């Protein structure tokens, strides 16, 4: 016995999670008295597109707020070379990505930030937000999110026929005119967050200052002097570089408070496309070129949402590789009420269940009922101890030797855990006695 030589830990309680449309993590209360300092529900997602912002501009800029969104600035490829097409692609889940990295989020082909199923099966792993609808805005709305959008570019003007399409599904949309409005956009979004109260949000912001002519409020150069015009023959690359960077730094300062409110939620910062600055004699965007397709990508996915995605993926892999063991929904339980688990009960898991490990925790896959269950840290240890069948008293004895816990507490928690397994119909009928 090694009582006292391990840190005290509480036994895990089984959590039940069925496959579902989107993560159902706990709600973080946004009800506080600090007004705009209130953080959003942690299921929320903020998507920022820095219009036309080049990867090299983002890397070079002094933009601490935007850079703090993720641990790495990724050099991604945009889904298109102009605003409308790129955003419409993102609206169905195809965000800028890296083809060479088979990782979730970084490569939307592998797993997306958000995905529209259109009733189709996934070819690859689950996305952070699995949505149903005609686009992600509609999908988030159907999933109970409040959807708020604010676009600087003319494409997002809901008063135009094309803009009406791209903005159609937002609960709230604003357009302050093209393209220098980030200060008013941020203020409006902050007001919207204040009004939204609790509940998850999908917030979209398209920033115009980084778009040619690269100007921001009070900039010391003329807004009428555009250094990046299609078909120009004069080389103004240096002006483009300096001005887009200055614009991004201005934008960064304006977005600090908004980003702070999403610190505990998920944030994606990217660009819809880049710009050519004389590469191959080309200026601006709207043409397919490595410079118009290369964009920055920085992101943070809220850990519980990421973990839920990973567990669902593991469960699906286990299901797929054990397909022959899947039984009909009536998995053989007798239907008779089982006597409650006591210390003398020998418990065993149903033989058709599949167990797999994610993040050091056991997932119990119940294929017959299309559900999976996370056992929690210490619950995982109990599941391992159960093995082919073991008495509750044996399990208690082993755990007392491992954890700093008294006999009564350990007994109560083991029995509670095993009874929870029984209530979920995860225990074998035959082995219980
Ligand atoms: Zn654009």
Q: Are residues 297 and 381 in the same domain?
A: no
Instruction: Please write the tens of the pLDDT for every residue from 132-181.
Output: 999 999 999 999 999 999 999 999 999 999 999 999 999 999 998 777 89
Q: Does 74 or 370 have the greater pLDDT score?
A: 74
Q: Indicate whether 13 pLDDT > 50.
A: no
Residue 428 lies in a domain: no
Residue 25 lies in a domain: no
Please spell the DSSP secondary structure of 365-418, one letter per residue: EEGGGTEEEE--HHHHHHHHHHTT-EEHHHHHHHHHHHSS--HHHHHHHHHHHH
How far, in Å, from the CA of 57 to the mean position of ligand 1? 15
How far, in Å, from the CA of 302 to the mean position of ligand 1? 27
CA pair distance 145, 43, nearest whole angstrom: 9
How far, in Å, from the CA of 293 to the mean position of ligand 1? 11
Instruction: Please write the tens of the pLDDT for every residue from 55-103.
Output: 999 999 999 999 999 999 999 999 999 999 999 999 999 999 999 999 9
Residue 46 lies in a domain: yes
Cβ proximity of 43 and 200 under 8 Å: yes
How far, in Å, from the CA of 328 to the mean position of ligand 1? 51
Q: Indicate whether 18 pLDDT > 70.
A: no
How far, in Å, from the CA of 141 to the mean position of ligand 1? 25
CA pair distance 365, 363, nearest whole angstrom: 6
Cβ proximity of 190 and 260 under 8 Å: no
How far, in Å, from the CA of 259 to the mean position of ligand 1? 21
Q: Are residues 108 and 192 in the same domain?
A: yes
Q: Are residues 282 and 317 in the same domain?
A: no
Half-sphere exposure of 39 toward its Cβ, with a 13 Å CA cutoff?
13
User: What is the pLDDT averaged over residues 312-330?
Assistant: 63
Q: Are residues 276 and 315 in the same domain?
A: no
Instruction: Please write the tens of the pLDDT for every residue from 192-201.
Output: 999 998 899 9
Q: Are strands 390-391 and 371-374 parallel, antiparallel or unpaired?
A: unpaired
CA pair distance 304, 297, nearest whole angstrom: 21
Whole-prediction pTM value?
0.78
How far, in Å, from the CA of 212 to the mean position of ligand 1? 10
Residue 4 lies in a domain: no
**% the chain with pLDDT above 90:** 61
Separation in Å, CA 380 to CA 161, 263, 278, 400: 56, 31, 59, 16
Altogether, the residues listed in the chain come to a count of 433
Q: Are residues 277 and 341 in the same domain?
A: no
Residue 3 lies in a domain: no
How far, in Å, from the CA of 52 to the mean position of ligand 1? 5
**Phi/psi of residue 145, nearest 5 degrees:** -85, 145
How far, in Å, from the CA of 186 to the mean position of ligand 1? 19
Cβ proximity of 393 and 343 under 8 Å: yes
Q: What is the dihedral of CA 207, 212, 290, 154, to 10 degrees?
A: 50
Instruction: Please write the tens of the pLDDT for every residue from 333-350.
Output: 445 566 788 998 999 998
Q: Is 26 exposed, middle or buried (0-12, 13-18, 19+ CB in 10 A)?
A: exposed
User: Which is nearest to 295 in space by CA: 361, 226, 248, 329?
Assistant: 248
How far, in Å, from the CA of 82 to the mean position of ligand 1? 5
How much is the pLDDT for 359?
73
Cβ proximity of 365 and 372 under 8 Å: yes
Q: What is the domain range of residue 172?
A: 35-301
Q: Are residues 312 and 297 in the same domain?
A: no
User: What is the pLDDT averaged over residues 195-224?
Assistant: 95
How much is the pLDDT for 307?
86
User: Which is nearest to 171 in space by CA: 129, 206, 200, 209?
Assistant: 200
Three-class DSSP category at 189 = helix
- CATH code at 105? 3.40.720.10
Please spell the DSSP secondary structure of 55-123, one letter per residue: HHHHHHS--HHHHTTSS--EEEE-S-SSHHHHHHHHHTT--SB-TT--STTTSTTT--SEEE-TTPPPS
How far, in Å, from the CA of 286 to the mean position of ligand 1? 9
How far, in Å, from the CA of 107 to the mean position of ligand 1? 21
Instruction: Please name the residues in contact with 102: beta carbons below 8 A apart, sequence gap of 6 or more.
Output: 110
How far, in Å, from the CA of 138 to the mean position of ligand 1? 22
CA pair distance 44, 64, nearest whole angstrom: 22
How far, in Å, from the CA of 181 to the mean position of ligand 1? 15
How much is the pLDDT for 431?
44
Q: Are strands 74-77 and 129-131 parallel, antiparallel or unpaired?
A: unpaired
How far, in Å, from the CA of 220 to the mean position of ligand 1? 24
How much is the pLDDT for 316?
79
DSSP class of 233? -
Q: Indicate whether 10 pLDDT > 80.
A: no
Cβ proximity of 75 and 230 under 8 Å: no
Which letter, b or e, does each residue of 118-146 get, where b requires 16 or more Cβ atoms within 10 Å of its Cβ? eeeeeeebbbbbbbebebbbbbbbebebb
How much is the pLDDT for 323?
56
Q: Does 362 or 49 have the greater pLDDT score?
A: 49
Cβ proximity of 269 and 298 under 8 Å: yes
Q: Are strands 45-50 and 390-391 parallel, antiparallel or unpaired?
A: unpaired
How far, in Å, from the CA of 215 to the mean position of ligand 1? 15
How far, in Å, from the CA of 157 to the mean position of ligand 1? 13
Q: Are residues 94 and 153 in the same domain?
A: yes
How much is the pLDDT for 37?
52
Query: Which of 113-127, 183-197, 386-400 is predicted least confidently?
Result: 113-127
User: What is the pLDDT averaged over residues 230-240?
Assistant: 96
How far, in Å, from the CA of 282 to the mean position of ligand 1? 17
Q: Indicate whether 326 pLDDT > 90.
A: no
Q: Indicate whether 411 pLDDT > 60.
A: yes
Q: Indicate whether 331 pLDDT > 70.
A: no
How far, in Å, from the CA of 49 to the mean position of ligand 1? 8
Q: Indicate whether 14 pLDDT > 80.
A: no
The first and second tokens of residue 222, run together, are: 């003329």
Q: Are residues 283 and 184 in the same domain?
A: yes
Q: Are residues 199 and 175 in the same domain?
A: yes
Q: Are residues 213 and 288 in the same domain?
A: yes
What average pLDDT does the structure give for the chain? Answer: 85
Please spell the DSSP secondary structure of 303-335, one letter per residue: HHHHHHHHHHHHHHHHHHHTGGGPPPSS-S---
Residue 238 lies in a domain: yes
Peptide bond into 179 cis (omega under 30): yes
User: Which is nearest to 1 in space by CA: 416, 405, 426?
Assistant: 405
Beta bridge partners of 269: 48, 298
Cα 45 from chain centroid?
Answer: 7
How far, in Å, from the CA of 83 to the mean position of ligand 1? 3
Q: Are residues 262 and 353 in the same domain?
A: no
CA pair distance 79, 85, nearest whole angstrom: 8
Q: Indicate whether 318 pLDDT > 80.
A: no
- Number of independent structural domains in the chain: 2
User: Which is nearest to 211 in space by CA: 188, 231, 228, 187?
Assistant: 228
Which helix (H) or strand (E) segment holds residue 423: the answer is helix 407-423
Q: Are residues 317 and 283 in the same domain?
A: no
How far, in Å, from the CA of 153 to the mean position of ligand 1? 7
């Amino acid at each position: 016995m090694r009582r006292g030589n391990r840190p005290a830990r509480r036994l895990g309680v089984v959590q039940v999670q069925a496959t579902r449309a989107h993560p159902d993590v706990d709600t973080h209360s946004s009800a506080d008295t600090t007004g705009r300092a209130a953080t959003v529900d942690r299921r929320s997602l903020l998507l920022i597109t820095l219009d036309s912002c080049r990867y090299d501009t983002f890397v070079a800029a002094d933009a601490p707020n935007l850079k703090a969104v993720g641990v790495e600035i990724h050099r991604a490829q945009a889904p298109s070379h102009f605003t409308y097409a790129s955003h419409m692609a993102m609206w169905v889940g195809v965000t800028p990505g890296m083809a060479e990295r088979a990782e979730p989020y970084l490569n939307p082909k592998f797993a997306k930030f958000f995905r529209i199923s259109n009733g189709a099966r996934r070819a690859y792993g689950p996305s952070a937000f699995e949505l149903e609808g005609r686009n992600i805005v509609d999908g988030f709305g159907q999933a109970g999110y409040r959807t708020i959008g604010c676009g600087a570019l003319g494409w997002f003007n809901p008063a135009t026929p094309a803009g009406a399409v791209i903005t159609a599904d937002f609960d709230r949309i604003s357009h302050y005119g093209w393209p220098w409005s980030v200060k008013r956009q941020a203020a409006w979004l902050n007001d919207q967050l204040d009004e939204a109260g609790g509940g998850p949000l999908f917030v979209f912001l398209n920033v115009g200052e980084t778009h040619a002519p690269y100007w921001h409020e009070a900039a010391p150069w003329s807004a009428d002097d555009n250094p990046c015009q299609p078909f120009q023959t004069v080389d103004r690359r240096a002006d483009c570089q300096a001005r887009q960077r200055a614009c991004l730094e201005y934008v960064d300062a304006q977005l600090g408070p908004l980003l702070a409110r999403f610190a505990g939620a998920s944030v994606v910062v990217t660009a819809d496309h880049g710009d050519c600055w004389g590469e191959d004699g080309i200026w601006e965007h709207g043409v397919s070129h490595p410079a118009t397709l290369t964009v920055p990508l920085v992101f943070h996915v809220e850990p519980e949402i990421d973990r839920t995605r990973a567990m669902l993926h593991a469960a699906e892999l286990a299901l797929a590789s054990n397909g022959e063991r899947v039984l009909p929904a009536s998995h053989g339980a007798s239907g008779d009420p089982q006597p409650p688990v006591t210390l003398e009960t020998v418990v065993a898991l149903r033989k058709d269940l599949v167990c797999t490990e994610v993040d050091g925790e056991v997932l119990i896959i119940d294929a017959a009922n299309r559900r999976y269950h996370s056992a929690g840290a210490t619950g995982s240890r109990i599941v391992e101890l159960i093995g082919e069948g073991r008495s509750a008293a044996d399990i208690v004895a082993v755990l007392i030797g491992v954890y700093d816990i008294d006999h009564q507490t350990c007994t109560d928690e083991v029995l509670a855990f095993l009874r929870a397994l029984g209530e979920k119909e995860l225990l074998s009928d035959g082995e219980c006695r």
